[in-house]
Every structure is written in C-alpha cells, then in structure tokens.
Amino acid sequence: MEERFDMVVVGAGPAGEKAAAQAAYFGKRVAIVEAASALGGAMAASAATTKAMREAAIYLTSFHRRQIYGAGIDLDPQAVIDRLRARAVTVARSMSDAVGENLVRHGIELLAGWARLGPDRTVVVTPLDSGPERVVAADVVLLASGSRPFHPPGIPFDDPDVHDSETARDLDRPMRSLVVVGGGAVACEYASIFMALGAEVTLIDRGSRLLPFLDAECSALMAESFSSSGMKLQPETAVAALTRDADGLSLQTDHGAVLRPEKVIFAAGRVGNTEDLGLDEIGVEVDGRGRIHVDETFETSVPGVYAAGDVIGPPALASVSMEQGRVAACHALGIAFKETVDPMTPFGVYSIPECAMVGLTEEQAPAENRRYAAGICRFANNSRAAIAGTTEGLVKLVVDCDDRRLLGVHIVGEGATELVHQGQAVLHFGGAVDYFIHATFDVPTMSDAYKYAAYECLQRMA
C-alpha cells in the first residue's frame, strides 16, 4: 500500500527544509526523508560549525586585538581547542534542533531513512533500523539531498591527518603546521581560522588569485591581509603527490617543492549526493559530479521531479538553497507566491577578515558596456573602526556614470557580511549612489563608510 502526499522532499538541509515548510504553509501534505540523525544538512553540520569556530577562535585567542590593548585572554592551547570544539558542537546541535522544531510546527512528517526513487513519483524509504521499507507517493518529489566534498584521486583521505572540508572541523589538538588546498571561500575560512589558532599555514591554489569571484582589488586585499598575518600563499600551484613516510606527511607540489605539514585540508569543490537515489532508473539527468540538471523552475528532466540546493551545483550557498527550495515548491505545486530566486544574491566569506559582495564587480561593469566609476572608503579612515580596532579593509561602490545607479558593493573587513545588505537593498530598488550621500548614518558606525565611498564615486564621475 502506498501512502500519498502532495509533496515528498528528499533531504532536510536548507533547500529541503524550506521547500517543505513553504508547501506546508499553504496547506499541502508534506513528508521529508532524511537519513542523517541530525537535521539541517551541511549548513548545520559543517558551514555553521565553521562560522562558530571562527568566532570562538577570535575570542579565545584575542586575534588581532593584543596589539591594540596590549593584553588578551591567554589560555592553554589545548584548552582553546576543547572550548572551540564545545562551542561548535553546541551551535550545530542548536541549528539542527531548530530545523526539527520547524518541521513539527508546520505539520511535516519526518521519515527517517534512505530514499530511492521509484516510478510515477514514488519514493521507497529504507528505515535506519531493520524495519520494513515504506513506499510513499506524491504529486511532486523534490530532491534536496545536498553535496559532499570532492575527493581528488590519489589523495589518501583515509589518513587521519588528511581532511576534507567536513572532517576538518573535527580538530582534536593544537597543531603546528597546516596546508590548505583550494582558493575558494571554504579554503580561505579554514586557513585564516587555523592561523588565528597559532598554526603555520600554507594555502595552495591552482588559480592565479584567491576568491576569483570577488572584485580584483578586494581579492588582492584579502591575499595581502593573509600574508601580513603570516600565511604563506602559493598561487598557480597544484598538489602532485601526498604520501606518508617515517617522518610524517610529505606533500609535493607540481613545482617540485616538498612540504612537511602536520595536517592537510582539501577544500576544492563538491559533488552531488545522488548516487543512491536511483536517478538513472527513472531518467533524471546528472552531470559528471552527480549534480542534477534543472530548468528555470527547478524541474528535472522527469516531469514532477524537482531539485534544489547544493545538489544542483553552484553557488551552493545556504541562503540561495533556501530560496531555490521555496521557489521550486511554488512552481511544482502551483502556489502563486515566489516565482524567482533573487538575482541580487550577496556572497559572504567568513574568513578573518570577512569579505562580501553583491552586484557587479569593477571588472564586470565594462563587460556589460557600462560607463562606471568606483569609489572606496578604507576603514582606516572610519571612526567606529578606529574605536574597535578593526581598521583593516574597505567599502567599495561601483556606480553607473550615466544614471548614477548603484551597480555593485564590495566590502573587506570585520562585519562585511552584515554591512553588504545595506547596499543590496539599494540595488534591489534600482537606487542611485545619491542615497548614500543624502542619508544620515549614525556616527560612529561602520555603515558611515558607505557615504565616503559614495563621495569618491561622485568625484570620479565629475
């Protein structure tokens, strides 16, 4: 006997949870299938844990603050690690519990087990224990099974000191040296966090610059900040071999250098969690990394089967995954509420320092045939930053010279991932740079930097 739902969601991560809640809010009967004991997907298990590690590392080590006050917390290194791990576990558990409470609040049935798709939008659920399989049917099936770190071939991930971006959070002791492989957001976050914890960090990246999606000036500023903190950057470099001998790990680069780190973290790409879903049998198309192909409504190659979140590929941001899930549910169930995902998506990197952006970069503006001007305000000239001792970084605005409309906002510095939303709001409403000129900002605040970046834009346009 099949039990019928309006929608069955596979995966209780950001996309799955929000899709299920959106459908249930509009009166649909929804079930969500999840095999993990902790709900929330990679957001709760990994991403939020990394952010918690960042905040704990800054607080417990007084990173960047000792030079201001000449004093700080001085804890035993092992005590720092123990407290950092405890805080990360607490945050992850809290976020997972919040997901469970949201499902209960919306009357969503949670099916604990592994999902496999059958014909005619049925889902076979294999329970976590040895109980019988359960078959559920739905008008709509939404796949939100997430992703996992990509494991390059030839890398010994079974070695206890070789980690991917998920196992790296399971730090059990202080370490002296670390190599991080990758130049994206996760790699930069881990590299800077472990720098704050006192490790000697080398960051190896195939690309010519860190965080290539950023404005080039901001990317260079991030690299400069990392280098000034003591991090060793090796751009345009790849790992040729990683082995263990009597002296420990031996990492050889494609330039012939040999590094002897205590640990190695690979943070370079992800693959979709789709291999056990039975997609081939029903005709759902995926790419070489297991990511599901969808159209503009998030429907797959099989009618009635939708997908959202990390499992469909970049940008693989929790914020975007949530919106994709909501939009997919609305399209799939004919709910006239959310039709598109916000095109003005902010990107944030929770490294030390933070950086964030929304809209066009200075390099993208001319590619779209825009006459533009760019203005910056460095936090070194901001009163609140001087008071807080967070003078590293800047606010940069990109503005259209023809109509003075704001095109992009780029921020490096503490609080960047919060500050960027002020610029995002102006972008959404097609606002001009004049908004920042005429608006009154509290002083002292970091937000006041927007005004002086705007003044520089006007000067350059003149």
Establish how many alpha carbons lie within 13 A of residue 20's alpha carbon, considering only the half-sphere containing its beta carbon: 32
Percent of the chain's residues with pLDDT above 70 = 96
| Alpha-carbon span 339 to 331, nearest angstrom | 7
What total of structural domains would you count in the chain? Answer: 3
| CA 327/CA 19 separation, integer angstroms | 8
Residues 369 and 388 in one domain: yes
60 and 133 fall within a common domain: yes
Those residues with Cβ within 8 angstroms of residue 304's Cβ, 6 or more apart along the chain or in another chain:
121, 139, 140, 141, 332
Residues 59 and 72 grouped into a single domain: yes
Concatenating the DSSP letter of every residue in 11-32 gives --SHHHHHHHHHHHHTT--EEE
Q: Is 180 within a domain?
A: yes
Task: Tell me how far apart the alpha carbons of residues 238 and 210 are, in angstroms, rounded to a whole number.
Answer: 14
Q: Give domain status of residue 398, yes or no.
A: yes
Q: What is the per-residue pLDDT for 402?
A: 94
pLDDT in tens, 241-290: 999 999 999 999 999 999 999 999 999 889 999 999 999 999 999 999 99
Following CA atoms 318, 322, 323, 329 in sequence, which dihedral angle do they give, to the nearest 10 degrees?
Answer: 150
Based on the fold, state whether residues 83 and 179 are members of the same structural domain: no
Same domain, 312 and 379: no
End of a domain among 241, 268, 295?
268
> What pLDDT is recorded for position 156?
96
Residue 347 counted as domain residue: no
CATH number (domain holding residue 62): 3.50.50.60
Identify whether residues 168 and 132 lie together within a single domain.
no
> Are 34 and 130 members of one domain?
yes
Helix ranges restricted to H, 348-406: 364-367, 383-388
CA atoms within 13 A on the CB side of 43: 28
Any idea what the Cα angle at residue 299 is, between residues 293 and 303, rounded to 5°? 110
Q: Are 250 and 163 in contact (CB under 8 A)?
A: no
Please check whether residues 243 and 301 belong to one and the same domain.
Answer: no
Q: Are residues 204 and 261 in the same domain?
A: yes
Q: What is the CATH number of the domain that holds 442?
A: 3.30.390.30
pLDDT tens by residue, 366-412: 988 899 999 999 999 999 999 988 899 999 999 999 999 999 999 99
Greatest Cα-to-Cα distance within the chain, rounded to the nearest angstrom: 74
Q: Which domain holds residue 90?
A: 3-148+271-333
Final residue belonging to a domain, choices 300, 333, 366: 333
Tell me if the pTM is above 0.75: yes
Structure token digits, residue 177: 């040296």
What tokens does 334 get? 């004919």
From 144, 134, 119, select the one nearest 309 (Cα to Cα): 144
Question: Which of 235, 268, 301 delimits the end of a domain?
Answer: 268
| 275/140 same-domain check | yes
State the amino acid at position 425 in one-letter form.
A
* Whether residues 226 and 295 fall in one domain: no
